[in-house]
Each structure stands twice: as structure tokens, then as C-alpha cells.
């Protein structure tokens, strides 16, 4: 009898438990979608979609060319407009880049996420990126971007 009860108990619990406790269908990963949209907008130098990825109060450390931290939309957009023109370099149609994050790690901390990855887009250098995103009423927005690079050892 004990064996029958032990066998049937999980099935009986599943039938008796409210549906919302049993399981919830997986929700679309809006953080991953925000990251994908940001990278796609950057690849295509789609200014409006790119800039909408950022919070108004975001801070940015650029890897080169701008030694000071850019604080707030006016500062980081001014710098990114220069970067966009440098990347275009006379090209007229997207995609202008092919950003391919490597070794991506996402750390979720409630309504905040820290995303780190590498870019292998400059010979002899390892480009490192850190994005800090916060979820608000408009979705996930970048509140900090830190871009740095380190010279790879000669092999």
C-alpha cells in the first residue's frame, strides 16, 4: 500500500495544486531582447534605436579617444556621434559592423543586470565590455557602459 501511495502522491498533488503553482509558462527574455536590439542597432548605426537603449542618466567610459567619463545623455550622445562617423568611414549602407560578443556573462540582480563580454575586433587587442542595465517602465535600459581594451601578449 505504501508503494502505491508513494507512486500516486506526485500525481495527486499535481492535480490538486492550483495551476499557477504547478508551473508557469516561460516568459520571453526581455533582457536578452534588449541586448540583441542594442547590438543590432550598433551594427547598423541605427541612431534612434541605439540611443533608446540608454537611460537618460547613463554613464559611459569609451575605450579610446575620450579620456573622461561621459555622464548623462548629452555627453555620451555627443561622443557616440563622433564614434558613429568614424565607424561609417565613408560607407553608406548598413551593416557597418558585425559586433559578436564572446564569453558573455549575465548576472541578474533583480531589476539590475551586469553583462560582460569580449570583442575580438582589433588585432593584437582584447576589447572588454561591461554593460549595467536597469529595468524600468520602458524596459531594460543601459545605465552604464564601460569599454576598455588590453594588449594581448605576443605569441
Residue 12: pLDDT over 70: no
| Residue at 105 is within a domain | yes
Question: pTM, whole model, 2 decimals?
Answer: 0.80
The band of 121, judged by pLDDT with boundaries at 50, 70 and 90, is confident
The number of distinct structural domains making up the chain is: 1
Higher pLDDT, 25 or 36: 36
Instruction: Tell me, yes or no, whether 5 lies in a domain.
Output: no
pLDDT (mean) for 105-133: 95
How many whole angstroms separate alpha carbon 34 and alpha carbon 23?
Answer: 26
Task: Judge whether residue 58 has pLDDT over 50.
Answer: yes
| 3-class secondary-structure state, position 93 | coil
Helix, coil or strand: residue 31 = helix
Quick one: pLDDT at residue 1?
45
Q: CATH number for the domain including 74?
A: 3.10.450.50
* Dihedral, CA of residue 47, residue 72, residue 140 and residue 64, to nearest 10: 70
For residue 45, the enclosing domain spans 29-151
pLDDT for 28: 54
Amino acid at each position: 500500500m505504501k508503494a502505491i501511495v508513494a507512486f500516486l502522491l506526485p500525481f495527486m498533488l499535481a492535480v490538486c495544486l492550483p495551476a499557477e503553482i504547478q508551473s508557469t509558462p516561460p516568459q520571453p527574455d526581455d533582457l536578452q531582447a534588449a541586448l540583441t536590439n542594442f547590438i543590432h542597432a550598433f551594427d547598423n548605426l541605427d541612431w534612434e534605436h541605439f540611443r533608446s537603449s540608454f537611460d537618460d542618466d547613463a554613464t559611459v567610459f569609451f575605450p579610446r579617444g575620450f579620456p573622461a567619463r561621459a555622464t548623462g545623455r548629452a555627453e555620451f550622445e555627443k561622443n557616440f556621434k563622433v564614434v558613429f562617423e568614424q565607424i561609417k568611414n565613408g560607407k553608406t549602407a548598413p551593416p557597418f559592423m558585425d559586433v559578436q560578443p564572446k564569453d558573455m556573462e549575465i548576472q541578474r540582480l533583480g531589476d539590475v543586470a551586469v553583462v560582460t563580454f569580449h570583442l575580438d575586433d582589433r588585432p593584437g587587442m582584447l576589447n572588454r565590455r561591461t554593460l549595467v542595465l536597469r529595468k524600468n517602465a520602458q524596459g531594460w535600459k543601459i545605465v552604464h557602459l564601460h569599454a576598455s581594451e588590453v594588449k594581448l601578449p605576443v605569441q
